[in-house]
Structures are given as C-alpha cells and as structure tokens.
Amino acid sequence: MFGVNQLKTTALLGLLSGLIVLAGYYLIGNEQGLILGLVFAAFTSIGSWYFSDRAALAAYRAQPLAREQAPQLYDMVARLSDRAEIPMPTLFVVPTQSPNAFATGRDPQHAAVAVTEGILNLLSPEELEGVLAHELTHIKNRDTLTQAVAATLAGAITFVGRILTFGALYGPVTYDNRRNVNPLGLLFLIVLAPLSAGLIQLAISRTREYAADQGSAELTGNPLALVNALRKLEEVGRRIPMNGNPALSPLLIINPLSLEGLQTLFLTHPPTEERIRRLMELAQQQPATTAMA
C-alpha cells in the first residue's frame, strides 16, 4: 500500500524536479529550456541512482568489513535482514570514533551498511541492533535511493542558481537577451530556489527518519533499544562530530550537531527528542514486548 510517507516523499521529489525544469527555462529563456531542465533532472537522477553508494562510502572512507573481523555483527545483520525479508547488505566500517552509521545503495540487492568504530565501541548489543534495524529499514523502503536523488537534485538546483547569478551580474541571463524576464521569477531562482531545494531535501530526510525509527521498533520488538542508542549517539556525537560531505549527512542515523530555534529548520534529521518521544509512544503500546532473541 502506498503510504502517507511515500506520498509525501514522491511529492517533494516532484517539487525538486520542477524547480530544475523552471531553472532550465530561465537559464535558456525559451521552451528549449524546459526540455533541457527535464533532461538534466533525469540525468542527475540516473547518475545518483547508479553511483550513490560508491560516493557515500568514499566520502566517509569506509572500508570493507570481513566476517572474521566482526562475526557477532555479521550474525546480527543477517538475522535482522532475514526478518526484514531483504538480502544481507555488504558491511563496511568507517575509521572514526564519532558514533554513527548509515545505509546506502540503489536497491536492496545492491545495498551496504556502514558503521563507525565509535558506534561499535559505544553501544550495547541491544542498542546496536536497534541502530542496524533502522538502517535496514532504510534499505527495505529504498530510502537510500530517495535520499541520494534528493541530494543530487538539490545540488543541481544550487548550481543552476549560481550560473544565473553570474549571468545576471556579468551578462544576459538568456541567450535571446529578452527584456521581459520577470525579475521576481529570476530572484526566486537565484535566491529562493536553492534555499527551497535544501529545505525540501531536509523534509524528505526527516520523513524517512521517522519511518525508519518505526521500522526498527517493529524489527526488534524493542523500541527502547533505539531510544537508548539515540540518547548516547546525541550526547557523544556533539563532542566528536563526524566529518564528511555535508550533502551526504542525511544518510547518517543522527546529526552530530544539535541546534535550537529557527536553526532546526536546517537540520538534516528530526530533533532527537521528538524521535525519542515517538519511540516511547510505540513502547507504551507494547509494554510487554522485549527484544527478540
């Protein structure tokens, strides 16, 4: 069944693509710009679909993790993957003490889960299981592809906005140098479109995080395990931030920096307190449930 979260995500991706098409129109100045925008949106989406996993793993210097290096971790992921009814993903480790994890890949058959050295040292087996179930839910729901496409489209819109800014300052914005270009429309594409694209990308990320948290609770039968994990990750992540490409930060299970007030609009994740609140509600709905063996 096509749920509300999937509908929201599809609508937001459609808005991102629409912004690119509109930017193409203003960049070229005629109907050919619309076609160029459509082609560009399709090209960036296909590129992110195929290369997203390699880009994310390379950005965080993730290294393949052999079974003999972490047999308990392998068994845990295999067990959870079986419950989620997806193929077991390839496992990677990120050489940093910042506690975090992420999933990537264009589909469940080409997926990878990366965990940092810090998260392996910080969490108990029960808490780690909650985190891994969260990442496997991302894979099952194909959020890894959705987030990669959203990040690529948002970056493309920002790039086009910069081109338009250069054109407005140093030359004609369009090839036919039309005099009837709507200045408000141009202002929107130069300033507001990149900002809107970023906010849409963040909205997609937040929607998918809530769904993955719920999926973790369903897979493990123990929402409190992820609650405890999120609390630890929030506390330690503030002290040991995870460096990497900011465009890929929505992939991480938690944003290591916590902001307040209007600054929360630009967080790649929902507030940890809100995620914990929702998980606590799930725990209250199944008070007798304990972690599955």
pLDDT digits (tens, 9 = 90+) for 28-79: 666 666 676 666 666 665 666 666 678 788 889 999 999 999 999 999 999 9
Cα–Cα distance between 135 and 219 in angstroms, integer?
A: 11
The pLDDT assigned to 79 comes to: 97
Which residue ranges make up each domain of the chain? 4-285
User: Angle 87-14-217 (CA atoms, 0-180°, nearest 5)?
Assistant: 40
The region that residue 244 occupies, defined by phi over 0 for left and psi between -120 and 50 for alpha, beta otherwise, is: left
Cα–Cα distance between 219 and 291 in angstroms, integer?
A: 9
**Whole-prediction pTM value?**
0.73
Write out the catalytic residue numbers: 135
Q: What is the pLDDT of residues 262-292, one digit of tens each?
A: 444 456 678 899 999 999 999 998 754 444 4
